[in-house]
Amino acid sequence: METLSRFLVFMSLFSGLVSGFTLQNLPITSFEESYMQLFGDKNLFVHKDGKSVRLTLDERTGSGFVSNDLYLHGFFSASIKLPSDYSAGVVVAFYMSNGDTYEKNHDEIDFEFLGNIRGREWRIQTNIYGNGSTHLGREERCNLWFDPTEDYHQYSILWSDFHIIFYVDNVPIREVKRTSSMGGDFPSKPMSLYTTIWDGSKWATNGGKYGVNYKYAPYIARFSDLVLHGCAVDPIEQLPKCDEGAIEYIRAAQEISLSERAKMEVFRRKHMTYSYCYDRTRYKVSLPECVVNPAEAQRLRVYDPVTFGGIPRRHRSGKHRSKRSRTDGTVSI
């Protein structure tokens, strides 16, 4: 009963954006105490400090690790440095999932980093699934204002019972608010945190046009400043148990502050290249949780009038090559 009461108090405060947090006041966890290897044999390497990890993709295999615990809500973060040079087809993922526990109705919150050909930048794709709703893609894609291969940058997920916020270097880039119309599509079951690098040649770069070229292998992704700050689910009591000091470290507000919302709007205006809410080739009517921003819609229509304006695509010959889609329902653009 005490555990449940503590959790309810925590979540009453954790209902909005983390305000004024930095990595300096959040606990950094070591690999040994918080994670275990998922796959990849020797392609996973933990540095001597115990808090930095290297994942490698080569011709043999990719690699990955997963948190020891399941979590129901929290703040999850890592500083990541992506592979440089030719990286087409390479996917680096930092995400939450319970697919191993709920095979047919799993939840997911995704950061996926999609490699590219030489001279083209990496792209970020964010997505969420709830209750196995993989037939409804809720992807957004964006470019970055820096080169993610030159240095470490912080990528974070804030997940509460009411909303999900994605951050890059403490700048909110996407907010998903829970609405009654979403029903079970909003992630609501305990999840583990996963970090992987793998071969996504069939879809990741230009719909599979450019695949992984192992002439440029090994592809190395580096991780540090690993933060697991939330409510781990006790395997016996089946109740979330919040980190000691979580309330002290994290102050939550009901809404994103005006200054942070302004930063998010600037980011989306300059760097967002795709949003499912405006995709008229997939959804003739936007999904019910979408709040359409007229300026955002107009900018995307100019960027891609076929996808975002519903204009039929013209074909120069009788041959038609349809978009390839991932088996989980994600459409590559």
- Active-site residue list: 108, 112
- Provide the residue count of the chain: 333
Q: What are phi and psi of 124, to 5 degrees?
A: -110, 135
Contact indicator for 122, 142 with CB cutoff of 8 Å? no
Place of tokens 């615990």: 69
Q: What are phi and psi of 106, to 5 degrees?
A: -80, 160
Contact indicator for 94, 155 with CB cutoff of 8 Å? yes
Q: How far is CA 33 from CA 43, 51, 176, 249, in A?
A: 20, 10, 31, 20
The conformation of residue 192, written as its DSSP 8-state character, comes to E
The DSSP result for 5-60, as a single string, is HHHHHHHHHSSS-B-S--GGGSPPPPHHHHEEEEE-GGGEEE-TTSS-EEEEE-SS
From the list 188, 2, 192, the residue with the least C-alpha distance to 101 is 192
Q: What are phi and psi of 252, to 5 degrees?
A: -110, 145
Cβ count near 12 (within 10 Å): 11
The conformation of residue 312, written as its DSSP 8-state character, comes to P
